[in-house]
A and B are shown apart, each in its own frame.
Chain A
Amino acid sequence: MTRTLLLQQVLNGLAIGSVYAIFALGYTLIFSVLRIINFAQGAVFTLGAYFTYALTGSRFGFNGLLRNAAVPLRLPFILALLGGAVLAGISGVLVERFAFRPLRARGADPLLTLVSSLGVAVALVNVIQYLFGAEMYAYPSDPFGHWPAAVNFGTASEPILVRSIQVMIFGVSMIMVALLTLLMNMTRTGKALRAVAEDPVTASLLGINTGRLIVFTFFVSGFLGGVAGTLVGLSVSIAGPYFGISFGLKGLAVIVLGGLGDIPGAVLGGLVIGLAEAFVPSQYIAYREAVPFALLFIVLLVRPQGLLGRAVVQKV
């Protein structure tokens, strides 16, 4: 393998990996606080992409209930992205209200909350298809003005090209992880969140409003999902209502690999899986889906707490 090709594959891997990382951040935030897996994250991610699409004033297709409808305002793309993310955040809060809170109030088994979030995911996807049809949607071209299609990290004679949108997704996922780490470690809210994560009952005894913090967590997680959905939609278009679901399982592998609930770990897990996929030999490339799970299996055997996770000390 030449140096150029090696570098190209590394950059390809980082580019794919940052998509996984950006998806997994919302997952991992909820896990870090509530110790539950929110399978509806994939559907919220999809919703975020659709909301942004609607807010740009683009028309829906002919096959859903909202045939040919359009929101009567045409926001610039960046505002639509933020608006879509806020709406996705609200959807996250609604998911919490209907799929998680009733079960938590009853002190139900965590397995039940997993199943309930899976149920919400399937229901949401079907509602999306009912409303918007199964067609693909794509954002207007050049949403950020006139960008080149790809960035050259090599020389003119030996180009190493990476698609601009992938460079951007990488940048945004790095910014998000930095902000989330700051939020968790440097702010009062972060401290309170960590207290809730440690022990919700004690936290509320200490005067922390647990319920409100949980809603906040779901909002932030939905918001991140919405941003991620829009950016991935910008990269590969919104391939219909099922588009976020396919990331769900891989996102799970990413957060387990990185260390469940560990925020930098989610990004590291995503990048490691992306790199591993990029180096699958070309004749087996279609089987690369197996890579994250094989990797996960090995990590679980050797380092069960994940790459960055701390080993849980058994309390006696």
Chain B
Amino acid sequence: MRVPATRWGATLAAGLVLAFMAGSAWSQAQPIPIGIAVAQTGNVALAGQEQVLGAQIAEEYFNKLGGVNGRHIKLVFQDAGSDEATAINAFQNLINVAKVVGIVGPSLSQQAFAADPIANRAKVPVIGPSNTAKGIAQIGEYVSRVSAPVAIVAPAAIKAALGINPKIRKVAVMYAQNDAFNKSETETFQSAVKDTFKLDLATVQTFQTTDTDFTAQVTNVLNAKPDLVIISGLQTDGANVVKQLRELGYKGLIIGGNGLNTTNIFPICKAHCDGLLIAQAYSPEFKSKINDTFRSMYKDRQKKDPPQFSAQSFTAIQVFVEALRALDKKTPIAGLDLAALRVDLNKQLMQGTYDTPLGEISFTPSPGGEINQKQSYVAQMKMDADGANGKFVYVK
């Protein structure tokens, strides 16, 4: 029998409506979907891959512990790329199609300024796993982050450098000017150099995250004869700056910003990474039960210590899980519709205190969602003699 096209259409529409209604009721059997929109492609895919891994470890770990009071969580991955448009697309998909309770992402501050307002308007909680620029938490009440803003970690590194060499007077600053995070980081570094520590800011050199040759900038830095160089860049460009500074004869101390806080820079600057000071929001060496577990789970997979990106995405999932647990105890989440659950979850997560691999964290009430992190870390890189491998050593 031939069925008229209009009837097919009507059947399809009815089916969709039914499917939609079924989706809006929170059946007990379904795992709870949490969205992850990080850079799986593009030029920050490396960081994104680390974030995916951290989140997957969190999913496995918390589900083994019973998930949210017996109900599992399920991560829904959407590639946020390394640009704003892809991030927006990923957010819209997670909110409207995958119908997640909350989102972890995106990878870059630059993307967060574009994509977070969408989640905020839709009243979906977003936790930024690695957005450290100024103004992220101010995007809206549904936006929070587990990545400490640079204002907190930057001065600690300069203090550590002065501890190693108290004679530091002249400082050269280099930064990637095409990246929101690095611009905001360098402002913090520069004001700490001039205002907090009263040092002489001898030269400021700029570059782009896509650059590979920095000889011109290095020449200018060497001409200023600094005792300390501070670099704010991403990992590839930042590590190449370190390498080229050393190859062209710079002997003083170097501080690397947050972007260089990863063992992924070892293959590039090799033996030249030695002695590099890094302000950290995470240290694999930090002793706590949850960090030890996380570190060993990560090491089992990657045969190296976890970088900050993985620890932060783990933490973001942890915040969602623990907030969901607490909420479920107050008002069983099975009885809530999705919109109400998202709103209540956001309220709940802002109130909690979490014991995470980053140390103890909580969120500020005003502006809501800024991270309060108890510990901050400064590490110095110690490379093996052949420069192939190395590790972060805590500077007390």
- Say yes or no: A138 contacts B267, CB within 8 Å: yes
- Say yes or no: A8 contacts B267, CB within 8 Å: no
Residue A311 interfacial (CB < 8 Å): no
Residue A182 interfacial (CB < 8 Å): no
Q: How many residues of A contact B (CB 8 A)?
A: 42
Given known A16-B213, A141-B386, A286-B208, contact A134–B248 (CB-CB < 8 A)? no
Distance in angstroms between the alpha carbons of A236 and B217 in the assembled complex: 15
Given known A12-B219, A134-B45, contact A163–B207 (CB-CB < 8 A)? no
Residue B46 interfacial (CB < 8 Å): yes
Task: For B208, list chain A residues within 8 Å (CB).
Answer: 286, 289
- Say yes or no: B268 contacts A286, CB within 8 Å: no
For the complex formed, measure the closest distance between the CB of B337 and the CB atoms of chain A, giving whole angstroms: 38
Distance in angstroms between the alpha carbons of A201 and B289 in the assembled complex: 75
Task: For A136, list chain B residues within 8 Å (CB).
Answer: 46, 235-236, 239, 264, 267-268
Residue A114 interfacial (CB < 8 Å): no
Residue of B nearest to A126 (CB): B41
Q: Residue-by-residue, is B66-108 near A (CB-CB < 8 Å gives 1, otherwise 0)?
A: 0000000000000000000000000000000000000000000
Q: Residue-by-residue, is A227-260 near B (CB-CB < 8 Å gives 1, otherwise 0)?
A: 0000010011101101000100000000000000
Residue of B nearest to A140 (CB): B388
Out of B46, B248, B302, B386, which one reaches A240, CB within 8 Å?
B46
For the complex formed, measure the closest distance between the CB of B225 and the CB atoms of chain A, giving whole angstroms: 13
Out of B41, B46, B177, B303, which one reaches A286, CB within 8 Å?
B177
Task: For B388, list chain A residues within 8 Å (CB).
Answer: 141
Given known A16-B213, A138-B270, contact A150–B223 (CB-CB < 8 A)? no
Distance in angstroms between the alpha carbons of A256 and B236 in the assembled complex: 29
- Say yes or no: A237 contacts B206, CB within 8 Å: no
Given known A149-B247, A285-B207, contact A278–B264 (CB-CB < 8 A)? no
For the complex formed, measure the closest distance between the CB of B42 and the CB atoms of chain A, giving whole angstroms: 8
Residue of A nearest to B246 (CB): A149
- Say yes or no: B213 contacts A5, CB within 8 Å: no
- Say yes or no: B43 contacts A16, CB within 8 Å: no
Task: For A137, list chain B residues within 8 Å (CB).
Answer: 267
Q: Residue-by-residue, is B228-247 near A (CB-CB < 8 Å gives 1, otherwise 0)?
A: 00000001100110001011
Task: For A86, list chain B residues within 8 Å (CB).
Answer: none
Given known A62-B302, A285-B216, contact A237–B223 (CB-CB < 8 A)? no
Residue B49 interfacial (CB < 8 Å): yes
Distance in angstroms between the alpha carbons of A57 and B49 in the assembled complex: 24
Residue B317 interfacial (CB < 8 Å): no
Task: For A162, list chain B residues within 8 Å (CB).
Answer: 215
- Say yes or no: A62 contacts B301, CB within 8 Å: yes
- Say yes or no: B215 contacts A163, CB within 8 Å: yes
Task: For B271, list chain A residues within 8 Å (CB).
Answer: 141
- Say yes or no: A135 contacts B264, CB within 8 Å: yes
**In the complex, which of the residues A126, A136, A141 has the most CB atoms of chain B within 10 Å of its own CB atom?**
A136
Task: For B264, list chain A residues within 8 Å (CB).
Answer: 135-136
- Say yes or no: A134 contacts B46, CB within 8 Å: yes
- Say yes or no: B268 contacts A161, CB within 8 Å: no
Residue of B nearest to A166 (CB): B215
Residue B364 interfacial (CB < 8 Å): no
Residue A282 interfacial (CB < 8 Å): yes
Interface residues in B31-78 (C-beta closer than 8 Å to A) = 41-43, 45-46, 48-49
Out of B177, B235, B247, B268, which one reaches A138, CB within 8 Å?
B268
- Say yes or no: A150 contacts B206, CB within 8 Å: no
Out of B45, B210, B247, which one reaches A150, CB within 8 Å?
B247
Distance in angstroms between the alpha carbons of A114 and B250 in the assembled complex: 45
Out of B49, B219, B235, B387, which one reaches A133, CB within 8 Å?
B49
For the complex formed, measure the closest distance between the CB of A137 and the CB atoms of chain B, giving whole angstroms: 6
Interface residues in A83-136 (C-beta closer than 8 Å to B) = 126, 129, 133-136
Task: For A277, list chain B residues within 8 Å (CB).
Answer: 216
Distance in angstroms between the alpha carbons of A8 and B219 in the assembled complex: 8
Distance in angstroms between the alpha carbons of A242 and B45 in the assembled complex: 10
Residue B220 interfacial (CB < 8 Å): yes
Distance in angstroms between the alpha carbons of A292 and B317 in the assembled complex: 46
What are 29 A-B contacts with C-beta separation under 8 Å? A8-B219, A9-B216, A12-B219, A62-B302, A63-B46, A129-B41, A134-B41, A134-B45, A135-B49, A136-B236, A136-B264, A141-B386, A141-B387, A149-B246, A149-B248, A150-B248, A159-B249, A162-B215, A235-B213, A236-B212, A236-B213, A236-B268, A237-B239, A240-B236, A277-B216, A285-B220, A286-B178, A286-B206, A286-B208
Given A134-B46, A289-B208, 17 more contacts at CB 8 Å?
A5-B219, A9-B219, A15-B213, A19-B213, A62-B302, A129-B45, A136-B267, A136-B268, A149-B247, A161-B247, A161-B248, A166-B215, A237-B236, A237-B239, A277-B216, A285-B205, A286-B208
